[in-house]
Every structure is written in structure tokens, then in C-alpha cells.
């Protein structure tokens, strides 16, 4: 009997296939960093994680064209696979892992858009042991996904609105659904310090992520809320005062178009993991658990 993943509510990935996807990712990721080859990373990554990784590899390759054969391999162990039942495509699952890098948990979100496509990692979030939630499961032990689009009446805010709400808040400081913290109120305070200094002034433009590759994904938690992974885009233009000239570091220069005579604009992609409370929670504010950001482009003027 053929089971059609586009019509049936079935587990997003077979329990035997998920470890294979994680191993393929880890092996290729390590090879990409040994050879400093962005094309290799693109074979196993997509969305915001691919944007950040490929830019990093491109920049490192510019300064080390021979690669980095001594790159210490990333090793993942003690893996918990959070596999939801889903109807239709795209599908996703989460690999909650221990790594040889630190004492935190590394959560990878794997996605694919069809049965003939490979699984690719779209998000990475690094959480402390205490921050990893108790994920909700159905009677058969499968994780419970959050709808990627449309109203989610049981949550304090819609997952597909998080990117726009976050970037609007960073730009205006108004109407925040987010709790205060390093990635919210703290970031706005830090930015204020660099708006105008004796050497330069800074402009910021924050825009929501768009497109299928940047779609948010989420899993229900046992307290009625959810963990949602989403991405956002950020530009920062630094213009030097008279008598000063930009001095970007070598990795920024490797990504730069134009010549940095007076100003440099950096484009960044951020990927975040947030805790979205249930709609009837005592505190409805969305809390950032992790935010990873990387420069993906630079322009000199």
C-alpha cells in the first residue's frame, strides 16, 4: 500500500531515516569546513542556516584558500528526534543533540519540500539544558507541530507573524509582543549608542524574512505553548565622519562589493528560537531562547 505524504497525516520522517539525515549533514558540514567550500554546505543546508554558513565559508576561504584541514570535526550525540505528524509539504523534524563543542543542546530543524528532495538543515539553535522545553506528544509519541500559516488560536501570537513583529519592534520600539532581553530591548539600547559618535553614525533597517525557505516552524510544548524557529534580515550602514575612513576586517572585505571609502553597509541574517506562550498564559510575552546571526553581504561606498 502506498502512503501519500501530501494527503495523509503521517510522521514527517521515518525513524530510521532521521539519523541518516543527521549523519549526512554532519559529514558534509565537516567536509565543507575542512575545504572551506560553500557549495558543500548548500548540499545539506537551506534557509537562514545556509545563508549564514555559506557566507562564513566564503569569507574564510578568501583568507585561507587552501582550506582548513585541521578543522576540529563537529560531533553530535545523545540525539532526541522530535518528529511531528504532518499533512502535505513541506515537512520538518527537529534533532535535539549534544555536541562536542559545549555543554548546551544543539537543536537542528531539518526540512524538505517534497519526497524527491533531500533533508536539509534550515535552523540551528543552541539552548542550555534548562531551556530545552518539554515537547508535547500525541498518544503515539509523535511531536505536535504548529501550523506554519494562519491563526493559531491557542497561542499568544501567530508564528508566521513573528518575523514582521520582531523587525517592526527593532525599528520602532512599539507594540512589542516580546519580553525584554538581550535580543529585544537590549539590542535597541545597544544600537542607540552607535547612532551617532564622533567617528561615525549608523543607520539600521530591519525587514522580515520572506519565502518558503525562510518559513517559520514550530512544535507544541506540554504547557500549551510552543517553540518556534524563525528568521529575520538586518542591515546596518555605518558612515564615517569627515577625516575618517572605514577599516573593515578581512572577512568583511571578502564579502564586500564596491570600495569602502566613506561607508559600509552590512547585511545580516538572524535565526531565532523563541518560546511562544499559550493564549491564556499569565504572561503572554514571547521569550527569546537563542539568536544566531551572521553577516551575509557587505557593500562599500
Q: Where are the domains of the chain?
A: 10-300
Per residue in 249-274, pLDDT tens?
999 999 999 999 999 999 999 999 99
Its pTM stands at: 0.94
Residue 243: left (phi > 0), alpha (psi -120 to 50), or beta? left
- Pick the closest to residue 275 from 183, 188, 187 (CA basis): 183
- Mind listing the pLDDT tens digit for each residue in 51-107? 999 999 999 999 999 999 999 999 999 999 999 999 999 999 999 999 999 999 999
DSSP state letters, 233-272: EEEEEEEEPTT------HHHHHTEEE--SSEEEEEEEEEE
Q: What is the DSSP letter of 278?
A: B
Which residue carries 499568544 as its cell?
156
Q: What cell was used for 257?
A: 562589493
Helices (H), the chain: 17-35, 38-44, 47-63, 162-172, 185-192, 250-254
Classify residue 240 by burial, with Cβ atoms within 10 Å: 0-12, 13-18, 19+. middle
Amino acid at each position: 500500500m502506498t502512503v501519500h505524504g501530501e494527503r495523509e497525516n503521517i510522521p514527517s520522517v521515518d525513524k530510521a531515516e532521521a539519523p541518516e539525515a543527521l549523519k549526512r549533514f554532519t559529514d558534509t558540514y565537516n567536509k565543507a569546513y575542512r575545504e572551506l567550500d560553500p557549495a558543500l554546505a548548500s548540499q545539506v543546508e537551506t534557509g537562514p542556516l545556509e545563508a549564514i554558513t555559506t557566507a562564513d565559508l566564503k569569507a574564510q576561504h578568501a583568507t585561507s584558500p587552501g582550506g582548513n584541514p585541521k578543522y576540529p570535526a563537529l560531533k553530535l550525540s545523545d540525539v532526541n528526534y522530535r518528529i511531528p505528524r504532518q499533512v502535505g509539504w513541506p515537512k520538518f523534524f527537529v534533532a535535539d543533540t549534544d555536541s562536542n563543542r559545549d555543554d548546551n543542546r544543539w537543536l537542528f530543524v531539518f526540512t524538505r519540500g517534497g519526497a524527491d528532495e533531500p533533508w536539509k538543515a534550515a535552523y540551528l539553535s543552541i539552548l542550555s539544558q534548562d531551556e530545552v522545553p518539554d515537547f508535547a506528544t500525541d498518544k503515539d509519541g509523535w511531536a505536535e507541530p504548529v501550523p506554519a500559516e494562519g491563526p493559531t488560536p491557542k497561542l499568544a501570537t501567530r508564528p508566521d507573524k513573528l518575523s514582521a513583529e520582531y523587525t517592526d519592534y527593532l525599528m520602532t520600539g512599539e507594540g512589542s509582543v516580546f519580553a525584554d532581553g538581550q535580543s529585544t530591548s537590549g539590542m535597541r539600547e545597544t544600537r542607540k549608542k552607535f547612532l551617532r559618535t564622533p567617528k561615525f553614525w549608523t543607520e539600521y533597517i530591519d525587514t522580515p524574512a520572506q519565502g518558503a525557505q525562510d518559513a517559520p516552524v514550530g512544535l507544541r510544548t506540554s504547557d500549551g505553548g510552543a517553540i518556534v524557529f524563525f528568521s529575520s534580515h538586518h542591515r546596518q550602514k555605518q558612515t564615517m565622519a569627515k577625516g575618517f575612513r572605514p577599516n573593515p576586517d578581512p572577512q568583511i572585505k571578502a564579502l564586500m562589493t564596491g570600495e569602502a571609502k566613506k561607508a559600509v553597509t552590512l547585511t545580516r541574517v538572524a535565526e531565532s528560537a523563541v518560546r511562544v506562550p499559550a493564549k491564556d498564559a499569565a504572561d503572554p510575552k514571547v521569550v527569546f531562547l537563542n539568536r544566531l546571526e551572521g553577516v551575509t553581504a557587505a557593500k562599500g561606498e
